[in-house]
Amino acid sequence: MLLEDCQGNVQRALSSIAWRGVDGPAQDLQSWLSAVITFQGSCVDMFPKGEVRDEVNATMEKAREISSNALAIIKQGAALASMIDINGGPDDGDDDANGKGERQLEEEGEPASSASSVPTWVPSEERKLLGVKGGRRKAALTPNVTVAKDGSGDFANISAALDAMPEKYTGRYFIYVKEGVYDEMVNITGRMANVTMYGDGSKRSVVTGNKNIVDGVRMWRTATFAVDGDSFMAMKLGIKNTAGVEKQQALALRVKGDKAIFFNCRIEGNQDTLFAQAYRQFYRSCVISGTVDFIMGDAAAVFQRCLLVVRQPRQGQPAVVTAQSRRDHQQTTGFVIHRCQIVADEELAGSNKNKSGSSALVTTYLGRPWKEYARTVVMESIIGGFVHGQGYMPWEGKDDLGTAFFGEFRNGGDGANATGRKEMKGFHVMGKDKALRFTVGHFLHGADWIPETGTPVSLGLSGEEE
């Protein structure tokens, strides 16, 4: 089973390059090769420490070296192309940073689209596929399928709707999930590209599960909701893993599909809530909660205007928001927390009442490096005063942050004072030029794929979009 999982991960990454070809945009090739390195490392991590793991690691070493060298060559070529203006000049941070004229989805709290209509946020080219002219629908048009617990839809559960998807379809495939609690394991497989799943609200249309490692399930198989297909989009959905803190690692959401978008969703759990495993991912206006390493993995992921809620961990544990796992300095991966709020939930706030930062009973950190070249950036965000002044902690058994990169830019809130972490190896107070590299426009090349979905997005820094 371990070998099958290992082979499947690496094969997926290699097939991304094979079927798309190597003549695509440099940023795509960089993303796919970064994923190859991620999955090569994941293969090793799947095995328990010991002789077998050492053998697998030795087998993977040469492949990692080849992938890293290829990635370096592509990055150098892309840099040269920008310098000599082959592709219209370098991406300097203010190109299309305002996203003017984009069609934005409705924020949560506005009326949900009716099951008997095409949602207003469907892009114009896809509305044409559904028979909509001039932005107005014809009568009795519906999403491809509707899921409803009460029997009023095409299917009573989400998995059945996915199983019934046609092998081939044109454009996006829309799945509307009516209000209800769906206790099931949802898997958007690799063949299910361009799926949009939307509900009646993140507290009303909820997918829940409770698998965890204490009960004998391997970490990557505990996910309540798993996304392997490319260009997946979710909105107004709740995704939970209700296993308690004593059950340790228990994923609510695992994502390893390229160009995934989550908008107005709630992702709730405890340890390892969100496994942002690989490729490019964008989270907008989401609520993400957990205790330890509750945003983890090696994706290139941006969290924008999200509420990150730190919950009470097990006794004696610190709370940690992120655990990024970039393994190679050539990879284009990392986590960016942009214009978010980092807050404590009521229980944690109660435990730390009248205490803050270093004096808190439960110490809370913004991140720690899961792998050698972990990269996490927090910018233009509000950081609660309950966060330890050190900001970041080493991985277990390590003395410092090593070769990791933790950057901050123009944050606010009582926990934003960087004085206690300025001298830490691996920590950086960034200037504007450096921060621009981690905007959606630069880091994800988001202008190429996010606005066309109608998702609200700030491609640049605050105050530079309008």
Q: Where are the domains of the chain?
A: 2-83, 179-453
How confident is the model over 65-83, as a mean pLDDT?
69
Task: Name the strands in the sheet holding 280-284, side by side, starting at the edge strand that comes first in the sequence.
Answer: 145-147, 173-177, 195-199, 233-235, 260-263, 280-284, 300-304, 334-338, 375-379, 405-409, 427-429
The 10 Å Cβ neighbour count of residue 433 is: 9
pLDDT tens-digit map of 193-234: 999 999 999 999 999 999 999 999 999 999 999 999 999 999
Report which secondary-structure segment, H or E, holds 236.
none
Lowest mean pLDDT among 48-57, 91-100, 348-357, 453-462: 91-100
Answer yes or no: are the C-beta atoms of 358 and 389 closer than 8 Å. yes
What is the Cα gyration radius of the chain? 22
What is the share, in percent, of the chain residues with pLDDT greater than 90?
62
> Going by DSSP bridges, is the β-strand pair 405-409/364-369 parallel, antiparallel, or unpaired?
unpaired
Lowest mean pLDDT among 134-148, 269-283, 296-310: 134-148
Tokens matching residue 258: 């390229």
Q: What angle do CA 86, 103, 409 make, to 5 degrees?
A: 65
From the candidates 200, 228, 272, 298, which is the catalytic residue? 272
Answer yes or no: are the C-beta atoms of 276 and 376 closer than 8 Å. no
Confidence band, pLDDT 50/70/90 cuts, at residue 132:
very low
Lowest mean pLDDT among 81-90, 280-289, 379-388: 81-90
Tokens matching residue 46: 């799947």
Tokens 């932005």 locate to 135
Distance CA 387, CA 411 (A): 13
Cα-based distances in Å from 286 to 1, 168, 236, 253, 281? 34, 31, 9, 13, 13
Confidence band, pLDDT 50/70/90 cuts, at residue 36:
confident
Start-to-end CA distance of the chain, whole Å, equals: 52
Residue 272 annotated in active site: yes
Task: Name the strands in the sheet holding 253-255, side by side, starting at the edge strand that comes first in the sequence.
Answer: 186-188, 225-227, 253-255, 274-276, 292-297, 319-324, 364-369
Confidence band, pLDDT 50/70/90 cuts, at residue 129:
very low
Q: What angle do CA 392, 397, 398 make, to 5 degrees?
A: 50
To the nearest whole number, what is the mean pLDDT of the chain? Answer: 84
Confidence band, pLDDT 50/70/90 cuts, at residue 37:
confident
Lowest mean pLDDT among 13-22, 50-59, 86-95, 397-406: 86-95
Answer yes or no: are the C-beta atoms of 208 and 182 closer than 8 Å. yes
How confident is the model over 95-113, as a mean pLDDT?
43
Q: What angle do CA 109, 111, 112 make, to 5 degrees?
A: 100
pTM equals: 0.84
Distance CA 163, CA 192 (A): 10
> What confidence score (pLDDT) does residue 253 get?
99
Distance CA 155, CA 139 (A): 22
Residue 293 annotated in active site: yes
From the candidates 28, 293, 298, 328, which is the catalytic residue? 293
Answer yes or no: are the C-beta atoms of 226 and 188 closer than 8 Å. yes
Distance CA 324, CA 42 (A): 13
How confident is the model over 128-145, as a mean pLDDT?
50
Residue whose C-alpha is closest to residue 376's, from 423, 415, 432, 320: 320
Burial status of residue 247 (CB atoms within 10 A of its CB: 0-12, 13-18, 19 or more): buried
> What confidence score (pLDDT) does residue 308 get?
98
Return the CATH superfamily for domain 179-453.
Single-stranded right-handed beta-helix, Pectin lyase-like (2.160.20.10)
> What confidence score (pLDDT) does residue 431 get?
97
For helices 2-20 and 26-45, angle between their N-to-C axes, nearest 10 degrees: 170
